[in-house]
Amino acid sequence: MNLLATEVEAFILQCAVQAGEVSVMIAPSALYLERMLSLKSKGFWIAAQDVSVHEKGAFTGECSAHQLQSMGVEGAIVGHSERRTYHHEDDVIIGKKVVACLSAGITPVYCCGETLTERESGKHFSIVEQQVLTALQNRTAEEMLKIIIAYEPVWAIGTGVTASNEQAEEMHVWIRSCIEKQWGAAVANQIPILYGGSVNPGNAAALFACPNVDGGLVGGASLKNADFEAIIQAARS
């Protein structure tokens, strides 16, 4: 819930880089989706920050995946840690949002990750495995290849603390192994897994160099043109 309408427009117009050979998805507040869609000349994907589990009906204040798709929106973030914390969404609800996205033909960016307490107690692997397998249960291999997974350790979101390269790589390898057991090696090797936890210009290149880190889910650093551009450049290297 950052930036006003004029600031959002200025941000994109002033952005000095084109998406080019890397995929860049921007997820503004829902109010600004239509304006962002009209400024797509730089090749960015436009996504929503959330989506309703419902296709249509009397659900005041919500946006359905089909409504988003009808506007030209290409993706939606589902299961972000802030939705889990502030809106008490669990993986059953989040799984329904994944299905809603797939049914409308937009890409779900499914977020998972453990809290500091869960990591310190040694439960981080089992927690993330449970999240992935619960939210994505009953999805076919074909559907899985239409999903993006984002690992966001809750203890590293907005704190300035970043998981080490080793911690990020270790969890991404674990997520791939969980996917392989359920959907096979072909799916596990192809599905994009992003790292989301205080990604910034100073750590992006090293994180993206990890073999199993396919990109980043960027928070606060995406609000500054220079930082945003630097992270995109890091993804190119």
**SS3 of 96-140:** HHHHHHHHHCCEEEEEECCCHHHHHCCCHHHHHHHHHHHHCCCCC
Has 152 been annotated as catalytic?
yes
pLDDT level of residue 61 (50, 70, 90 thresholds)? very high
Which of 80, 89, 124, 169 is catalytic? The answer is 80
Has 21 been annotated as catalytic?
no
> What domains lie within the chain, and their CATH numbers?
5-236 (3.20.20.70)
Cβ pair 222, 228 in contact under 8 A = yes
Query: pLDDT > 70: what percent of the chain?
Result: 100
Which of 74, 89, 129, 152 is catalytic? The answer is 152
Answer yes or no: is pLDDT of 41 > 80: no
pLDDT level of residue 130 (50, 70, 90 thresholds)? very high
pLDDT level of residue 163 (50, 70, 90 thresholds)? confident
SS3 for 44-76 is: CEEEECCCCCCCCCCCCCCCCHHHHHHHCCCEE
Which SS3 state, helix, strand or coil, does residue 80 take? coil
Q: What is the dihedral of CA 32, 34, 36, 42, to 10 degrees?
A: 170
Answer yes or no: is pLDDT of 12 > 90: no
- In whole angstroms, how far apart are CA 1 and each of 4, 30, 82, 220, 229? 9, 9, 12, 11, 21
Residue 122: predicted pLDDT? 96
pLDDT level of residue 158 (50, 70, 90 thresholds)? confident
* pLDDT (tens digit per residue) in 67-122: 999 999 999 999 999 999 999 999 999 999 999 999 999 999 999 999 999 999 99
| pLDDT (average), residues 190-198 | 95
